[in-house]
C-alpha cells in the first residue's frame, strides 16, 4: 500500500514562498563568523562560513562549508560542498591538531598562530556566476574563474579557467561552456556588476545568449 503525502510536516503547508531581499537570508541552523555577505544572498540549512566574502545573489544550498574564501556574485553552490578544507601539518611527528590547538588540550597557553595564519593565507577565490556541484571540494589556494562549472563530487586541486567545465578526482577539464570568443565577450560585458535596476530592465535578454551579446558587447 502506498500513502499519498502532499507535504510533511503540516507546518510547511501555509508557509509563504521564500522571497529574497537585499538583506541576506540565512537559515537559523547555519553558523557564520567574521564574514561579509552581499545583497540577495541565500544561505541554506547547516552551512558554515568563516572569514569569507560571499557576494551578491550567490547561494549555498545546504550543508556547505566555506572558510578563508572569496565567493563572487551569482554563484550557485550545491549541497555538501567544501571550499578550502583545513590542512594538517604533515611534516610534524604527528598530524593531530593538539600541536596547534594547544589550549584545548592543556599543552600551552597559546595556540599555534603561525599555522592558522598559513591556513588563512591560502585563500580560495571563486569568480562570478560559478556553479559548484553537489559534494565538490575546492582545495586551499585554488582559484575558480568566472562562469566555470565544477562537477559533482570533484576534488579541485588546480586553478580553473573562466567558463571551463571540470570534473573528476582530481578535477580535470572536460570542455568549455562557450567558445573563447564568446567567453571573452561575456567577461567584457561583466553583467554581474550591473545595478539591480539594470538587471530588472534587461532580464528578458538573459534568456538568449545571441541577443544578449549582440545588445551588450561593445568592441
The predicted-structure confidence for 149-189, as pLDDT tens digits, reads as follows 999 999 999 999 999 999 999 999 999 999 999 999 999 99
pLDDT confidence tier of residue 128, bands split at 50, 70 and 90: very high
Q: Which range is most confident: 7-11, 114-118, 209-213?
A: 209-213
Q: Per the domain annotation, does 82 fall within a domain?
A: yes
**131 and 41, same structural domain?**
yes
- 128 tagged catalytic: no
Residue 143 has pLDDT above 90, yes or no: yes
Q: Per the domain annotation, does 15 fall within a domain?
A: no
Q: Per the domain annotation, does 115 fall within a domain?
A: no
**214 and 139, same structural domain?**
no
The predicted-structure confidence for 13-58, as pLDDT tens digits, reads as follows 787 888 999 999 999 999 999 999 999 999 999 999 999 999 999 9
**81 and 139, same structural domain?**
yes
Q: In 39-52, which positions are buried (b, 16+ CB within 10 angstroms) versus exposed (e)?
A: ebbbbbebbbbbbb
Q: What pTM does this model have?
A: 0.91
**161 and 71, same structural domain?**
yes
Q: What is the 3-state secondary structure (H, E, C) of the chain?
A: CCCCCCCCCHHHCCCCCCCCCCCCEECCCCEEECCEECCCCEECCCCEEEEEEECCCCEECCCCEEEEEEECCCCEECCCCEECCCCCCCCCCCCCHHHCCHHHHCCCCCCCHHHHHHHHHCCEEECCCCEECCCCEECCCCEECCCCEECCCCEECCCECCCEEEECCCCEEEEECCCHHHHHHHHHHCHHHCCHHHHHHCHHHHHCHHHHHHHHCCC
**79 and 38, same structural domain?**
yes
| Calpha distance 40→59 (Å, rounded) | 9
**81 and 182, same structural domain?**
no
Q: Per the domain annotation, does 142 fall within a domain?
A: yes
Q: Per the domain annotation, does 217 fall within a domain?
A: yes
Active-site position among 25, 27, 88, 97: 88
**215 and 129, same structural domain?**
no
**182 and 83, same structural domain?**
no
| Calpha distance 64→205 (Å, rounded) | 31
Q: What is the pLDDT of residue 100?
A: 87
- Residue 198 or residue 117, greater confidence: 198
Range of the structural domain that residue 182 is part of: 178-219
Q: What is the pLDDT of residue 53?
A: 98
**187 and 154, same structural domain?**
no
| Calpha distance 203→188 (Å, rounded) | 18
Q: Per the domain annotation, does 109 fall within a domain?
A: no
* Lowest-pLDDT range of 7-11, 181-185, 193-197, 213-217: 7-11
Q: What is the pLDDT of residue 216?
A: 97
**192 and 170, same structural domain?**
no
Amino acid at each position: 500500500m502506498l500513502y499519498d503525502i502532499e507535504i510533511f510536516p503540516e507546518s510547511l503547508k501555509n508557509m509563504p514562498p521564500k522571497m529574497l531581499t537585499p538583506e541576506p537570508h540565512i537559515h537559523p541552523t547555519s553558523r557564520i563568523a567574521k564574514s561579509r555577505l552581499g545583497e540577495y544572498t541565500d544561505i541554506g540549512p547547516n552551512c558554515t562560513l568563516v572569514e569569507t566574502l560571499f557576494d551578491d545573489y550567490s547561494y549555498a544550498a545546504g550543508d556547505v562549508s566555506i572558510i578563508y574564501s572569496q565567493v563572487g556574485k551569482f554563484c550557485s553552490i550545491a549541497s555538501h560542498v567544501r571550499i578550502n578544507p583545513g590542512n594538517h601539518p604533515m611534516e610534524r611527528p604527528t598530524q593531530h591538531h593538539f600541536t596547534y590547538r594547544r589550549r584545548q588540550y592543556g599543552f600551552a597557553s597559546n595556540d599555534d598562530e603561525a599555522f592558522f595564519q598559513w591556513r588563512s593565507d591560502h585563500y580560495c577565490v571563486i569568480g562570478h556566476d560559478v556553479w559548484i556541484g553537489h559534494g565538490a571540494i575546492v582545495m586551499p589556494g585554488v582559484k575558480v574563474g568566472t562562469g566555470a562549472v565544477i562537477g559533482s563530487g570533484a576534488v579541485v586541486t588546480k586553478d580553473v579557467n573562466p567558463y571551463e567545465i571540470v570534473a573528476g578526482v582530481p578535477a580535470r577539464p572536460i570542455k568549455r561552456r562557450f567558445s573563447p570568443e564568446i567567453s571573452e565577450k561575456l567577461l567584457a560585458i561583466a553583467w554581474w556588476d550591473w545595478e539591480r535596476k539594470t538587471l530588472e530592465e534587461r532580464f528578458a535578454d538573459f534568456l538568449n545568449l545571441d541577443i544578449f551579446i549582440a545588445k551588450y558587447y561593445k568592441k
